[in-house]
Structure formats: structure tokens, C-alpha cells
Structure 1
Amino acid sequence: MGRFTTILWQKENHVVTLKLNRPDRRNALNPVMVQELTTALETAAVDDSCGVVVLTGEGQSFCAGLDLDHLATMEQRTAEEHRQESESIARLLRVLHDLPRPTIAAVNGSAIAGGMGLATVCDMTLAVPEARFGYSEVKIGFVPAVVSAFLRMQIGDKRARDLLLSGRQMRAVEALDLGLVTRIVPESELMEEARRLAVCLLRNSPAAMQATKRLMNEYGRAELDAGLALAVTANAEARSTADFREGVRSFLEKRAPVWPSLQPEEISKR
């Protein structure tokens, strides 16, 4: 499929491989990539010749989250545009989560913020030892809203709060311990291991795997529906805050942020 500009699509032996293809931007998500990736996943969902989907990144990173150059233009958008962009992120992760085909993330490098969401929402997540994971949103005055709806279901409230409130990065081994990574694989073997896993899955009954995924998704559907509705609103509102504008500016200017939400006397103490 050659119509995509930010991702590469390859189908071979019933395995669709989707590669995020903005290596110069560490495969950061922008509106075009979000839409193209959603379209590619929806296409794979209805393609009877597709048995497994593998998601990976081009270059040294898996996905650095939302493109900060795009986020820097948030001030120019209306509240409705903020909500539409929030809904598009939620839709992408929901399509990936609900895909009737088994999904494998081959995490070839850092998976940050929304990129970590993409990596860990997949059914199985392979990662190189050097991969780093984290939800860095609070460090730029943003709210990790949409990803939190999935993370809380995966690892529980307490551990999710640790990752989301600290914004810290963790190594692949910790992500493995938390159950967010399935297996750690040497970089030289990553894609071959993803293919081997895909072949194993292709030997199973497609109908049984689809029914199993549907059943697993039904267990938490009501909670996820409610969580994503709250998350979309929180995400949209966060894009209009003074702290978010300062966070993006300070990051791009390579300086420490001065949070507008802090009182002057508090700033002097920090």
C-alpha cells in the first residue's frame, strides 16, 4: 500500500508489518501519522488475508510520542479542534486495542508517552534491552490522559500513578517486570523473533483467536469506555493550559520551565 507518507506497510505470508517512518523526528506522532496508522489498522482488521499485525519503528526509536513542534502550535487551535485531536488519539489506541488480529509490538528503541501507549496496547510486546519507556507528559505540563485509561487496566492504579505522576523513564527490564513487555530480545534478533512469534500465531485457529480477543476485551469494555470518555476531555482541556504552553516552550528552548500554576513565593523556593 503506497498511499502512506509517515508509515511503511508490508504484507508477507499473512503478516502485515507497519513501520513508523519519521526517523528524523524519532517517529513522533503528528496528525497525519495518527490518521494513517488508524487507517492502516482498520484496513488490516477487515483484510481476510491478514493474520497478524507487527508494529515497529524505523531508525533508532520506536516512537517519541506527540511531535512537540506540532504541540507548539496548539495555541492557534480552537477548543473543538483540541477535542478532535484528542479523539483521534483515543481512536487510534482503541482500534489497536480492539483489532481482531493478534498484534505484536517490536520495540526497537525508546517508546515515550503516546509511543509507549502504542507499544504496550499491543497483545504482545517485544523490546530490545536498550529500549526505554515512560510517560513524560507531566514534564511539559501535559496530562497523560488517553494512555492512562489503558495503563490503569494493565498494571493497576498504584503502579500507574507512579509512572504517570513521576514522568520517569524505565528500562525494558522494569517494563518486563510490570508486565508491559512480553519478552526482551537482542536488537539483532528483534524482527526475526517477531516473525517467529507471528508464525506461531498463524498456526492457531483464526476464529478462536478472534473470539479470545473479543472475550478479553469484553471483560474491561465498560471501564475502558468510561475511562476514554473522561480522558478525551482531560486531554483536550490540558492543551489550553498556561502550564502546557510554558512546558512546550521551555522544552523547545532547552531551559527549565517556570510553571504559571506556581505562586511567586513557591517559585523562589525551587
Structure 2
Amino acid sequence: MVQPLDSRQRNRYSRQLMIDSIADSDQRSLLSSRVLVAGAGGLGSSVIQYLAAAGVGTVGIVDDGRVKRSNLQRQVVHTVDDIGEPKVESAARFIDALNPDVTVETHATRITPDTVASLLRRYDVVVDGLDNFATRFLVNDAARLAAVPFVHGAVYELEGQLTVFRPGGPCYRCLLPAAPDEETVPSDEPMGIFPSVPGTIGTLQATEVLKCLLDLGEPLDDELLRYDAADATVVRTPLEPNPDCPLCGSDEIDDMDDIDYDDRYRIED
């Protein structure tokens, strides 16, 4: 039996319950929803904040990193006191302090071809808070095969982008067929990021997650939204499934074991 909202919850979520299109049943649905945030960095921080604040009942966080001083410029769920601590533990403490309605599931592990499918299991939506192409491909592949919506986001310097990949539409490999070569985009070198841009994109990602969970409005399917903070411009570009996509343009791949990856997690021919 679904439990009604108690008086404390009605008060806590009162502002969203005042929206005509959100009823008590929708809030109860959020409280029973499960979202996995892949990455507890700049993007993940904003996603985590707003999903927890909105009352998403279970938030999973996967990240094998530890908090560094250089993270604090943009990764706002972590503090000076958290330096050296696992990011998943720091983020979990933030959620616990913000909303006791939320159960946090921490996964202090690296996402690999061997772990990604089990990490996504039992979640309704997975969110891209990643900082490298290779792992993003892995999460995209596992999400598509599990028919789980994948809310993509990425940032670089003063720019960011996001979209929602859902079953039946294009996937991340339709947008970017393969990871750039190491010579083009070194994966082990830090890149410049304007401090508030991950917050802008991450907040939009959280909004898209909530829309997916509530079946509210029109999720950002089949379009890529690009944001340039330098001149505050937003551009939306249509996306279409790629008939030659090795993942969603073919019936040859049924599970992760059918995919042969090279050392940068690109699908090998």
C-alpha cells in the first residue's frame, strides 16, 4: 500500500505541490524513484543537490575519486573538511544533511565494462556527471541495453551541453560515434572549467531527470542543447538516430558481453 504524504513532507515539498501539474501522487512517485548519478564532480554536485531537495527517494552515486582542493571551485557538495575523503561519502553526507527522506547508495568504484551493467541495475534513470569520453560510452551502452534513460551533460571552459537519450531515440554514439584519439584529447590532463557552468548544466540535467520521472512536460529528447556562458546564448540542435550506430542502429548487440571494447572503450570492429 502506498503511504500518503505526512504533514512534514507536505510542508517540505509544498512549493512543488502548488504546481498545477504536480499532485500528491507525483510526489509519492518521486519518493519511490531511484536515480544513479555517475560522477560526484561539478555536474554531479548540482544534480545531487536538486534531486535530493526534490525528494527523489533513492540517489545512487558512483565515483572512485577523492576530494581535492582543486575540486572545490565547482564541486559544491564538497567542502575543505572533505579533502582527502571519498567523493561518494562526502556527497552522501551532504544529502543526509539536506533531506532525510532520501536514501543514498554509494558506489566507490570505477566504471568498467565489467562493473557498469551491475551498477545501473535497479535504477530508473542514470545521469551523466562524467569527465571523460570513454566512461561516458560505457554508461551510454549499458543504459541503452537496459532501456534506462540516460541524461547526458558535459562542460568545457565556458561551454556546456545536455540532452536526454531514451529508448527508441538516438544514443550517445549517434552524437559522437567514437572517442577522440588520445593525441587529440588527452584523458589524463585537467581542462579549464568556468566555476558556474557545471552548476548551470547540472541544474538543467536535474530538471530533465525530474521531468522523466514525473512524465512532465517535454523532456529534451532528440535535441542537443548547447550553452555558451561567454555571451549567454543557447542553441538547440536536432538529433536523429544513426542507422550505422553500432549500438542502436543494429540488432546484433543484445547485452554488454556482445561488445568488444578497445583500451579506450570504443567498440571494436
Q: TM-score, normalised by structure 1?
A: 0.29
Higher helix share: 1
